[in-house]
Structure 1
Amino acid sequence: MAFGVRMNFLRGAGFVGLIVGVVLGVAGAPPTAHAAPGPGSPLPSADPFYRYDAPLRHTAPGTVLRTRPMTFRTPRLSTPITGTQVLYRTTDQFGAGRATVATVLRPLVPGPTRLISYHMAYDALGSQCDPSYTLTGGYANGTATTEQGVIAGYLAAGYTVVVPDYEGEDLQWTIGRQSGYAALDGIRAAEAFLRLPRSTPVGLVGYSGGSIPTQWGAEIAPRYAPELNIIGAAAGGLPVDLAHNLPYIDGSAKWAGVIPALIVAYQRAYRLDTSAFLSEHGEQVTKAVSSECISQFASKYPGLTSAAMVDPPYTGLLDVPAVVRAINDNIMGSQGTPRTKMFLAVGHYNAIGDTLMITGDVIGLAHEYCSRGVDVTYHQLNGLTHQEAFLPFEPLAAEYLTERFAGIPTRSNCATLARGNSLAPLPVP
């Protein structure tokens, strides 16, 4: 398909149908010579490829530690697309060296290299949802399969794509700087593996959980990876300040399971002593979700409240100093200023947000960046819930990045943005 024709799809929701069709259309294609890893392979938590026990203190971030071939597939369908898994050195939330994996995929039609760092919304506490595992068909996950269609669309449009396991080996979900480091080091690793110059243009993109490495990657890149040529970042459905999200989903029928999952993530990243504040029920539900992914835990506990998670003297999780400190450490916009152009989008279903994310928070982040001189385009998807907004976001993001790669001027709306919500840290109790 000619690039001009592809652009017609990028300008509307038809892009999603195109990219899903790319994946589904190769059903029955013969498997490549390198079919493993794939269905039946051990989980990343049990796969020696993911383990790296040597010291990393003196290893540069982005260094490739080992590689192996992979085939891009779903649990039911094989494709002719092959790629490489790279284990690489990255950095955790507190500056220590860690290893994680990225999947590097080249387009079937060669051309000038334009690199997309695609951040899947895997929202996982268990390794079965690691992108490197789902991209080989290792786990049946509807969200992952849909996002594979998006990735296939970028490959069909001639982009090289790198997909990092940005939560790291310990599945530290929603942890900001660490996610950004993993995304940036995944780009470094892909460029090193493919022998690409640092001048290679790079776009960042992700929705929901995938917005975390996208936004944080853009925010910390000037300090952490200034050599990368990031030409644009497109983030949708952003959890800007979880101190605002927690009250919004408190008692929700659809999203209350996120509450104990966040505690698991903070326990892993910040070594919280949960016995000091969780109720017996809180302990039970955090243990129950500790190896699950968001499609399993989000609606598993309808009506669950923050109050039910804690014992007196606490009346909710935002009374717990350690929880508040962890949330404050992950407020978007608090650690730096992007140097690249930004596209920020969110659904707006009711007076507060998209049923999960807070519309005013995303506006507040956009306004804050604009005040610092960042070129921001804010887009609001009115009438859509968090899940519904994903489909229109993807073609909008693809169009935005396509224009950035082409050097087309942005349609920044900084001049007309409202102030939005304050993103000031919550006072520690």
Structure 2
Amino acid sequence: MTRTFLRVLAYLAISTALYATPSASSQLPPSKDPFYAVPDDIEKFAPGEILRHRQPPDVISAFGSPPSNLQRSHQILYRTNDDEGNATATVVTVLVPNKPDLSKVVSYQVAEDAVTIDCAPSHGFLFGTGNDPLLGSRTLQTQLLLLQGALEEGWVVIVADYEGPKGAFYATKLAGHAVLDGIRAVIQSAQYTGVASNSQVALCGYSAGAAVTQWAAELQSTYAPELKIAGAALGGGCNSISVPVSKVNKERVAGFIPVILLGLAAQYPEVGEVIEKHLKPSAKEDFYRPLHQCLDANIAFFNGRDIIGMFDDWVRFSSEPAIIKVFAQSNQGRQISQIPMFFHAAVQDEAVPIAQMDKMVIDYCAKGGNVLYRRDIATNLRHTSYGIVGTPIAMDWIRGLFNGNLPKPGCSTITGTTSEIDPEFLKIFPKTIADALVASSKKLGGGV
């Protein structure tokens, strides 16, 4: 259990320090916003059915600057199902560019990596939220910045709050359901979004967002077989990573241990009971901090901390039947996706070992998957920097899908030598932002 405990523990989200952020947003956080409330009669609605919709209560912006090619945006609350098939509701953000092709949709799964609804991208994308010391996430805003590449193509971009109303990080089926039901909702929203009901849809994500993208792709054939998914692009992450907790404890990303445990506790109360049973009283205040703050604050607060030492006996805790059962359940019910898949990764990725990516691709191909696997061998790229450099690579593959260049059946592997951001991609940004992205990708080349 200790060795296989946190399968996506190493999915570090993209993180940069671009430039000053604006003052904090005055908007209500989702936990206090009635728009997010799950209706009492949620069971009577079908998965993907729209419950309510609105324009966002504030401007969509990355580091205080609205995307230059964003015409309008919408938020949609819709029915979905959690890990155990229970009805719930969550929100999808719809970004419509100038001169849009309303028949092409990219469902982008961000790396949220938090355990409160107040960290959801529908809120984190709003003007000013990035400057909140606890709930702000520069990581999230950086991903919004990179999404401008899809908007520039004229594609509609949708981003689901896939952790649901309880912030259930690593609830794998909930995440997959939320993504698929978000697509269902959006293709029913033509009356106000304009999105065509017969749209081509591509899935895309990096790091933890790649894991969620993969979960959605694997559940699609049984959960939402009517959806026509053109393909899925996943970078820097897969759902088969296995990282020993001891390798993460006392390290920069030690905070992912409580985040994943608390995320599962949000979906499975029995996990919360076991945590409470074994957590030392003196450690409780610190351990539960993620319930009130987002990714960036968690990384800073738990940097180098001894999380294992917060428990009375880590071996006994991790051997509890409830813990073993829930982690096993989280990885059941999925199958090899039959839609075209594009996996791309940096060989020097220190967070997601390339050997794990290789193994997953071999497994996919042995079971009949349709995979193009790109291994970038540039020595300067690590997990975080490849999150920036790899975005245009994923967009190029999706462009091919939308243009009718269907992937060849079967599997193939290519070697990439990309070492810097595509200059054409940088042209969509103002010079100050483009320069900051280049500087950040180089600064982050040596690690996270």
Structure 2 CA distance for partners of 1:183 and 1:245, relative to 1, 3 Å: farther
Paired with 1:208 and 1:289, the residues of 2 have a C-alpha distance of 20
Which amino acid in the other structure matches residue 362 of structure 2?
Answer: H
Match of 1:87 among 74, 77, 87: 77
Q: Does 1:375 align with 2:370?
A: yes
CA contact (8 A) 1:266 1:323 kept: no
Which amino acid in the other structure matches residue 301 of structure 1?
Answer: F
Paired with 1:299 and 1:170, the residues of 2 have a C-alpha distance of 23
Paired with 1:245 and 1:116, the residues of 2 have a C-alpha distance of 34
| Residue 227 of structure 1: aligned partner | 226
How do residues 13-412 of structure 1 correspond to structure 2 at under 5 angstroms? 39-70=25-56, 71-74=59-62, 76-78=64-66, 81-111=71-101, 113-140=103-130, 141-194=137-190, 198-238=197-237, 240-241=239-240, 243-244=242-243, 246-252=245-251, 254-271=252-269, 272=271, 273=273, 274-280=275-281, 282-305=283-306, 307-312=308-313, 314-315=314-315, 318-331=318-331, 335-349=334-348, 354-382=349-377, 383=379, 384-410=381-407
Deviation at 1:334, TM superposition (A): 5.8
**TM norm structure 1:** 0.80
Paired with 2:128 and 2:190, the residues of 1 have a C-alpha distance of 25
Paired with 2:318 and 2:353, the residues of 1 have a C-alpha distance of 17
Question: Could you say what secondary structure the match of 1:117 adopts?
Answer: strand
Paired with 2:92 and 2:220, the residues of 1 have a C-alpha distance of 18
Paired with 2:340 and 2:107, the residues of 1 have a C-alpha distance of 15
| Residue 421 of structure 1: aligned partner | none
Paired with 2:222 and 2:286, the residues of 1 have a C-alpha distance of 39
**TM norm structure 2:** 0.77
CA contact (8 A) 1:122 1:129 kept: yes
Structure 2 CA distance for partners of 1:288 and 1:413, relative to 1, 3 Å: same
Paired with 2:387 and 2:242, the residues of 1 have a C-alpha distance of 23
Question: Could you say what secondary structure the match of 2:55 adopts?
Answer: strand
Q: Deviations over 1:110-164 (max 9, x none)?
A: 3351011011112222334211112222411322222222222211211011111
Deviation at 1:268, TM superposition (A): 1.0
CA contact (8 A) 1:277 1:310 kept: yes
Deviation at 1:280, TM superposition (A): 3.6
CA contact (8 A) 1:277 1:320 kept: no
Paired with 1:299 and 1:317, the residues of 2 have a C-alpha distance of 25
Structure 2 CA distance for partners of 1:138 and 1:339, relative to 1, 3 Å: farther
Paired with 2:363 and 2:254, the residues of 1 have a C-alpha distance of 29
Paired with 2:394 and 2:412, the residues of 1 have a C-alpha distance of 21
Structure 2 CA distance for partners of 1:281 and 1:99, relative to 1, 3 Å: same
Most deviating of 157-166 and 198-207: 198-207
Aligned-CA RMSD value: 2.8
Question: Where do 5+ consecutive residues of structure 1 fail to align?
Answer: 1-15, 25-37, 418-429
Question: Could you say what secondary structure the match of 1:298 adopts?
Answer: helix
Paired with 2:102 and 2:62, the residues of 1 have a C-alpha distance of 28
Paired with 2:326 and 2:244, the residues of 1 have a C-alpha distance of 14
Paired with 1:393 and 1:245, the residues of 2 have a C-alpha distance of 27
Most deviating of 301-310 and 124-133: 301-310
Most deviating of 214-223 and 62-71: 62-71
Paired with 1:180 and 1:49, the residues of 2 have a C-alpha distance of 22
Structure 2 CA distance for partners of 1:316 and 1:407, relative to 1, 3 Å: farther
Paired with 2:326 and 2:310, the residues of 1 have a C-alpha distance of 17
Structure 2 CA distance for partners of 1:148 and 1:307, relative to 1, 3 Å: closer
Question: Where do 5+ consecutive residues of structure 2 fail to align?
Answer: 1-13, 131-136, 415-448
Deviation at 1:105, TM superposition (A): 1.7
Deviation at 1:202, TM superposition (A): 0.3
CA contact (8 A) 1:65 1:89 kept: yes
For CA contacts below 8 A with separation 6 or more, give which structure has more relative contact order: 2
Structure 2 CA distance for partners of 1:236 and 1:282, relative to 1, 3 Å: farther
Paired with 1:317 and 1:347, the residues of 2 have a C-alpha distance of 35
CA contact (8 A) 1:182 1:213 kept: no
Most deviating of 240-249 and 84-93: 240-249
Which amino acid in the other structure matches residue 321 of structure 1?
Answer: P
Question: Could you say what secondary structure the match of 1:168 adopts?
Answer: coil
**How many residues were matched structurally?**
377
Structure 2 CA distance for partners of 1:251 and 1:321, relative to 1, 3 Å: farther
Q: Deviations over 1:342-378 (max 9, x none)?
A: 11233343xxxx3433333322222221112111122
Q: Deviations over 1:155-182 (max 9, x none)?
A: 1211011111111111111221111110
Paired with 1:318 and 1:413, the residues of 2 have a C-alpha distance of 39
Question: Could you say what secondary structure the match of 1:315 adopts?
Answer: helix
Structure 2 CA distance for partners of 1:301 and 1:205, relative to 1, 3 Å: same
